[in-house]
Amino acid sequence: MMTPSSTLVRLLRFGFLAVGAAIILFPYVFMISASLKPPEDVFSASLSLWPEHFSAYENYSKALTRIPMVRILLNGALVCTAIVVFQILFALPAAYALAKLRFPGRGVLFGLVMLGLLVPIHAISIPLYAAAQISGLLNTLAVLVIPFTLSVFAMFLFRQFIKAMPDELIHAARMDGLSEAAIVWRIILPNAWPAASAFAIFSVVAHWNDLYWPLITISKTQLATPPLGLLFFRSAEVGDDYGALMAATLIVTLPLVLFFLFAQKLFIEGVTMTGLKG
């Protein structure tokens, strides 16, 4: 039975979370509101969220026609999917080796993985750009995928998850005649699916929103990813048509929001099952 003090604590907790959610969601709500307004009403003195004059058709028409929006969204989906697939393909065997195999230098290699977590893409962007230019990969979708196919964060995350798996499961698979590669893909991957799902969400969010690397390697609108497409959209505008810009931004962010809402259960499960393991 709940006491008055526990009820008060729950109400205060709920109120605190509600205020925090309102603060976080307000920019998104304002973006939706601005996408429905004509340019002169976006920053009116009243700042009303409910439009006095609707201009949704004009704004969304501009967002879909000024730039090849569908192509840009497909570019983002293709790039993010390719990156996630290659990252899991390379990181899972490495994480299995670091977690379950015994070999000289394993601790040093894991230390290098931890060190790699501290190196941002900006620190190595110049040599990566030079390599892409020499190999002729500039202005291709491949240049957006190849530099990110190896993820030290994925190695760390999978290693933490695999390390907590019982060794008896691995020994039983070996006794059944499975090779180490077969163990990785037939035993480890199905059991590590929560961690893979959590990492996939991290990866998709990061690379869908990435502007820095596409900005310096892509100059063609047809090859733009969603954030770069927004930059091209604004460049194509005459003046600052914020209503149309907010409409384009909403179109770009909506797939990511829907993706996270669809996969949030797997994300929470993967984080809780992975984050506290040594």
Q: Give yes or no for a contact between 176 and 170, defined as CB atoms under 8 angstroms apart.
A: no
Selection from 71, 58, 70, 51 nearest residue 244 by Cα: 58
Side chain identity at residue 48, one-letter code? S
**Whether CATH 1.10.150.450 fits 64-274:** no
Mean pLDDT by 10 residues, the chain (278 residues): 72 89 87 82 66 79 89 95 95 92 89 88 90 93 94 91 87 88 90 86 91 93 92 70 86 87 70 52
Q: How is 241-261 classified by DSSP, letter by letter?
A: -HHHHHHHHHHHHHHHHHHHH
Q: How is 44-73 classified by DSSP, letter by letter?
A: -TT--SS-SS--HHHHHHHHHHSS-HHHHH
pTM: 0.84
